[in-house]
Structure 1
Amino acid sequence: MAADKNLHIVIFPWLAFGHMIPYLELCKLIAQKGHRVSFVSTPRNIDRLPKLPPHLSPFLRFVGIPLPQVENLPPNAEATTDVPYDVVQYLKKAYDDLKQPLADFLRTTDADWVLYDFASYWLGQEIGPSLGIKTAFFSIFTPECLGFFGPMSGDKRTKPEDFTVPPEWVPFPTTVAYRYFEIKKIFDSVAGNITGVSDLERLKMSAHYSDIVAVRACPEFNQEWIEVLGDICSKTVFPIGQLPTSEYDSGDENPAWQPIKQWLDQQPKGLVVYVAFGSEAKPNQHELTEIALGLEKSELPFFWVLRTRRGPSDPDPIELPDGFEERTKGRGVVCTTWAPQLKILGHESVGGILTHAGWSSVVEAVQSEKGLILLTFLADQGTNARVLEEKKMGYSVPRSEVDGSFTSDSVAESLNLVVVKDEGKIYRDTIKEMKDLFVNKERNDGLIDQFLGYLKMHRNENKNSQDIEV
């Protein structure tokens, strides 16, 4: 019977590490159940992904498809981390040009399902139906984010102000919305870019044209939003867990970790602030200066993973204030290369993380029971921050509603509130309470089993192998 046969699932994430890593975590969970997975991306991105445990290699293979050349996209730029924010639109154009090579690859496979990201709406709209392959939109964005952005049609919001209040289709009280400065900064996601299809349109079409929607969520944490999403999409929505990061320890200790561990071992327990804003968020020079001076004023020890530019073509590198590293020597470390985030967060000297509220970093903080101090920059980070504020899991650095500016004093006070003060104990305690929801292996296994059970029952046995031009 078809339902007894193991699946072959093709996975195609957007070209951002904040997307590729959770997709890879899902791949590992599927492969552990004995199903075959093909992870499709560009060669350079595949080379930069974490190494896999050897026992999964028979089930999980990487498929590299070269990224087409596009004008205004620098050579070797294959992920959002490689280019400044305004160049990402050209990366999307190159990604759209992967349509034909991806269709050619799929035609040669026995794929039962394709799981695709928000940027590749055309997989659900054209390629899947043409080849007789079932499609699932797997959103690394939370149900709150997807629910906030709403249905394919009937959304009358056109101005930034419209996105600063909860939408009319959410039937319960909530604060989940963007602050004015957050939506203003990313309004090109609504207004459009050189590809002719805005990010918001891509997101809505990805959900609309898919056979089902899978979302990074668990019912005990955000059930009411999962229901909103089901109503909006009018199709089955599968929460598949928070996909906590799993590290493969090959026995070869990463050389970067030893000196970091030695420094952390010498710090007071629970007082170090870990500072990291993900692979995409880059503060401007004024913001960087206020963050640095805030860390200095806080008098707390800190470990800061600082990206001074987005790729070699970034024309605006940022710099630390004069004398900052000398004045904080011994108390603080600024790391401008890759750092093992999960290991750092897991160290007992770390008490909190100053973060952009990217959901993978949030999940890793919950895994390690570390308090969250929030400073949003891009994308879904605004809606994520509202969820964390609502649930008393995180505290946002106070900022101007108009331009998002903040002071070094507000940074210092926020850090001390969450990491040290009695008034911030609620944030530290709530994170610990949430850990079981986020990293409960038995519960997460059950969600994956339900999802895979559906995929097995509803695979298409009558695939169409006709030629397809897209």
Structure 2
Amino acid sequence: MKQQLESFIETTKPSCLVADMFFPWSTESAEKFGVPRLVFHGTSFFSLCCFYNMNTHKPHEKVATTCTPFVIPGLPGGGIVMTAEQANVADDETPMGKIMKEIGESESTSFGVLVNSFYELESAYADFYSKNVAKRAWHIGPLSLCNREFAEKAGRGQKANIHEEECLKWLESKTPGSVIYVSFGSGNNFTNEQMLEIAAGLEGSGQSFVWVVGQKNENQGEKEEWLPEGYEERMKGKGLIIRGWGPQVLILDHKAVGGFLTHCGWNSAIEGIAAGLPMVTWPKGAEQFYNEKLLTKVLGIGVNVGATELVKKGRLINREEVDKAVREVMSGEEAEERRIRAKKLGEMAKVAVGEGGSSYSDLNRLMEELNSRK
């Protein structure tokens, strides 16, 4: 893409270039034409601080095995315990390690960093990141709240595999806060066996649910062997299964939804936060274990389903664990306290992107800096 991008920059002369972290070469390409490059990080300040401290202090190199827990050193507030596997720190000599090193070097010479978060959510980590890691950083999220109209919310991401009106009609038949929304992101890499346990766990919880199962993957056959026999008939009116892509933002914002079972990818996590929902956390890889710690240990709005290692390792989460975590998030005294905290964060998120809010102001500050360069 390098040649095409440089040709585009040269002919359009943009005020700046915003490029995802995985295009480190774009900093050099932008500089070639005197254009500032902004790095976009699709994760939280908390995760970025964790990655930085893990690479700086390398505690993972001092533990005996990948499953030995240790405390991430140097974090504001401290007390975040991980294993080397969960921390997902790649050795500098591996292909991923080399890419991450390039990303770090590119970030240090870029104009600054954009983060899809808001200051009130993780202020200590935003301050730490701005002071110790990036020379300039702007929090401009939650970006999903920019989609204010029905069509914008419904069209977020890909085209949904269910008509929005059909989905909303189903939700309208439920009492407020009674439905749990279940989605593991765009990459569904669960085995049939694991999917069966999820299905049985949801049924056992007695909770109404909307479950986006995503597209089939190599772990699943042609037949739908991941559903117990007669499951959809038994769950008629109780559970709605969406095969493929679901209108996530619309569903999360609906009053009938009272919880979110998520893989903790940051897009999903921040959309759940913006909707003011408590979450069942089921990280699968990447930086998701960091995000899970933010939701459960820092913000106090999440309950871990029991996922302690990468999904590819094949550790089965059984139906009893799914059932227990769903119940814990949806009902009881602790659940109510968690829901209150989540609702407050959702309200703060909306204030942040509104006129005069922290994200609104940071975006204005960024634009002023870019204009002053002209």
Relative to the length of structure 1, the TM-score reads 0.67
Within 1, Cα distance between the matches of 2:5 and 2:123?
A: 35
Task: Compute the displacement of 1:234 (Å).
Answer: 5.2
The aligned residue for residue 27 of structure 1 is none
Aligned residues of 1:281 and 1:356 also touching (Cα < 8 A): no
Output one character per residue of 1:355-409: Cα deviation in whole Å (capped at 9) or x when no partner: 1112222232233332211111122211111011121111111245695542211
Contact 1:306 1:335 in 2 (8 A): yes
Equivalent position amino acid for 1:241 in 2:
G
Matched with 1:393 is 301
User: After TM superposition, where is structure 1 displaced by more than 3 Å over at least 4 residues in a row?
Assistant: 151-169, 177-183, 186-193, 196-199, 247-251, 314-319, 399-405
Contact 1:271 1:300 in 2 (8 A): yes
Alignment match, 1:200? 100
State the secondary structure of the residue aligned to 1:416. helix
Question: Contact conserved, 1:179 with 1:382, CA < 8 A, in 2?
Answer: no
**Could you say which residue in structure 1 is the equivalent of 2:348?**
437
- State the match for 1:83 in structure 2: none
SS of 2:113 mapped into structure 1: strand
Residue 327 of structure 2 aligns to a residue whose secondary structure is helix
Three-state SS of the structure 2 residue aligned to 1:373 is: strand
Task: Determine whether 1:111 maps to 2:14.
Answer: yes
Q: Which amino acid aligns with 1:455?
A: L
Specify the code of the residue in structure 2 equivalent to 1:321. Answer: L
Q: Does residue 202 of structure 2 align to residue 295 of structure 1?
A: yes
Contact 1:374-1:394 at 8 Å conserved across structures: yes
Structure 1 residue 458 and structure 2 residue 373: aligned? yes
Match of 2:256 in 1: 349
Structure 1 pair 218–398 and aligned structure 2 pair: CA distance change class (3 A): same
Letter in 1 for 2:206: E
Q: Runs of 5+ in structure 2 lacking a partner? A: 156-161
Alignment partner of 1:221 is 2:121? yes
* SS at 1:438 equivalent: helix
Letter in 1 for 2:289: G
Cα shift at 1:118: 0.9
Q: C-alpha distance in 1, partners of 2:6/2:350?
A: 36
User: How far apart, CA to CA, are the structure 2 residues paired with 1:296 and 1:366?
Assistant: 26
Q: Tell me which of 261, 266, 274 is aligned to 1:367.
A: 274
Residue pair 2:264, 2:282 contacting (<8 A) in 1 also? yes
- State the partner residue of 2:320: 409
Match of 1:139 among 28, 32, 41: 41
Deviation at 1:322, TM superposition (A): 2.9
Q: Which residue of 2 aligns with 1:279?
A: 186
Q: Distance in 1 between matches of 2:52 and 2:85?
A: 21
* Residues 190, 383 of structure 1: alpha-carbon distance in 2 compared, 3 angstrom cutoff: farther
Counterpart-to-counterpart distance in 2, 1:233 and 1:368: 30
> Runs of 5+ in structure 1 lacking a partner?
1-97, 460-470
Inter-CA distance 423–227: structure 2 relative to 1 (3 Å threshold): closer
Instruction: Give the 3-state SS of the residue equivalent to 2:246 in structure 1.
Output: coil
Distance 1:356 1:132, change over 3 A: same
Name the TM-score, length of structure 2 as normaliser.
0.83
How far apart, in 1, do the equivalents of 2:90 and 2:58 lie? 17
* CA distance 1:166–1:108, change in 2 (3 Å): farther
